[in-house]
Amino acid sequence: MPGADNPSLEDDLTCDLAIVGGGFTGLWSALKARERWPDKNIVVLEADRCGNAASGRNGGFCAPSISHGAANAVARWPKEAETLVRLGHENLDGFQQDITDFGIDAEFERAGKLNVAATPWQVQGLKATQEVFARFGYDTQILQGADLHDKLNSPVYDTGLFEPNYALINPGKLVAGLRENCIDKGVELYEHSPVTALPKQGASIRLATDKARISARQIILATNAAVPLLKRLRAAIIPVFDYALVTEPLNADQLAAIGWEGRHGVADSGNQFHYSRKTADNRILWGGYDAIYHYGSDRDVALQDRPETFNRLAGTFRAALPALDGVQFSHAWGGIIDTSARTTFFVNTALDGQLAYAMGFTGQGVTASRFAALAMLDMLEGKQTERTTLSMIRRRPVPFPPEPLRSLAIRRAQRDLAWEDQTGNRSFYLRCLDRLGIGFDS
């Protein structure tokens, strides 16, 4: 990302709103707070460089959903599914309008998404998904044969479902643009300033870094997959590592050989799924499949480099797109997903309503982070809005158990999900989790 790092916080200060975390959620919160409160003193505190964690390391898929898809809304919140689906589409519209208004050149493309299936049971899943879309009045297309090959020609996939209303973006450019707008609009932004504690004292909340103290009337916690500062939230999410490769730039003949001449994104239908999109210079990003949890919720930055996963991704890429067998990979990276047990984010307040938090985006935060920011600001204002009254927003997910049960439960779920991919059969264990509203996804 361009530009020098902002300085760290060296001196004590007092502010109206302090935002902990400089990724998508924190930066959207700062910009939207500035729109509501032009005269307030707003401070963002980032432990590293803005966007150096999940916000700059994701696949750049901009979903028209705040509920991890319409089918998930129907399954988990049937009474408010229609509202969730509508708000998700409105949020993507607002997201697009905002980045236009802010002048952010983030390579936004509303080019659609192709969901592909490799097995008969995955094909049935695509058809069921199409029925859910139709229920809410959204057109999608089932593609096979030549129609599918016009969007992706792969020996692995024989059926696709195309969603026209889906967008893609360069996440690094997006977070850089949000950061630049915050600075331009008078938000005080301090990088390399990790917050270590937040003791409440009187009418204000005291935030502590290793060098300074901040007194704030209100606080937003937007720390994603970092260890939550509020102890009550530490079992609500787990850090799951996700990985991606990017190829060298492809020429027109190479893209024609795989039928991928449009600008849409691609995702397959397995529980262990791949996601893929083209960059502005026609590289292919190929990510997903491995979702790695480390014992004790280990977040060590060294775990972002995992050669065995990069090799596995290279193998699945060449199997799916054999016409590109000789193509080399120019980049590889990993990042952490803040995974909740129900696969969707949640928002609420603490400390007598002076603090708001959002987390648990489970790999779907590029657009949902904007919605979460608006919901937190509504709550800090004490407003009851359509956003704040959603059950999905207000109810915290089932907490993850302590170790060693946590690791055992996750490994069992992953094993059974892989077995379902191979056989089409959902295990008794997974069906029990379904009934409890518990999932494991990314």
Residues 6+ apart with CB under 8 A from 380: 17, 218, 220, 349, 353, 354, 356
Task: Let me know: does 238 contact 337? Beta carbons within 8 Å.
Answer: no
The enclosing H or E element of 350 equals strand 346-350
The enclosing H or E element of 171 equals helix 171-184
What is the pLDDT at residue 322? 98
CA dist 118 and 319 (Å) reads 12
CA dist 250 and 248 (Å) reads 6
Residue 342: closest CA among 222, 197, 219, 439: 439
What is the pLDDT at residue 440? 67
Alpha helices in 77-115 (DSSP H): 81-101
List Cα–Cα distances, 62 to 68, 167, 251, in angstroms.
11, 5, 26
Two tokens, residue 157: 């996939």
Does residue 404 have a cis peptide bond before it, meaning omega lies within 30 degrees of 0? Answer: yes
Q: Which amino acid is at 190?
A: Y
Q: What angle do the packed helices 428-435 and 405-423 form, to 10 degrees? A: 110
The pLDDT tens digits along the chain (442 residues) read 556 889 999 999 999 999 999 999 999 999 999 999 999 999 999 999 999 999 999 999 999 999 999 999 999 999 999 999 999 999 999 999 999 999 999 999 999 999 999 999 999 999 999 999 999 999 999 999 999 999 999 999 999 999 999 999 999 999 999 999 999 999 999 999 999 988 776 778 899 998 999 999 999 999 999 999 999 999 999 999 999 999 999 999 999 999 999 999 999 999 999 999 999 999 999 999 999 999 999 999 999 999 999 999 999 999 999 999 999 999 999 999 999 998 999 999 999 999 999 999 999 999 999 999 999 999 999 999 999 999 998 888 899 999 999 999 999 999 999 999 999 999 999 999 988 888 765 5
CA dist 201 and 280 (Å) reads 49
CA dist 157 and 178 (Å) reads 37
CA dist 399 and 231 (Å) reads 12
Residue 436 region, left (φ>0) first, then alpha (ψ -120 to 50), else beta? alpha
What is the pLDDT at residue 2? 55
Matching residue, tokens 């009337």 = 217
pTM higher than 0.85: yes
What is the pLDDT at residue 3? 65
Backbone angles phi, psi at 19, to 5 degrees: -115, 120
Two tokens, residue 401: 């158990």
Separation of first and last alpha carbons in the chain: 25
What b/e string do you get for 275-285 counting C-beta neighbours within 10 Å, with b at 16 or more? bbbbbeebbbb
Residue 102 region, left (φ>0) first, then alpha (ψ -120 to 50), else beta? alpha
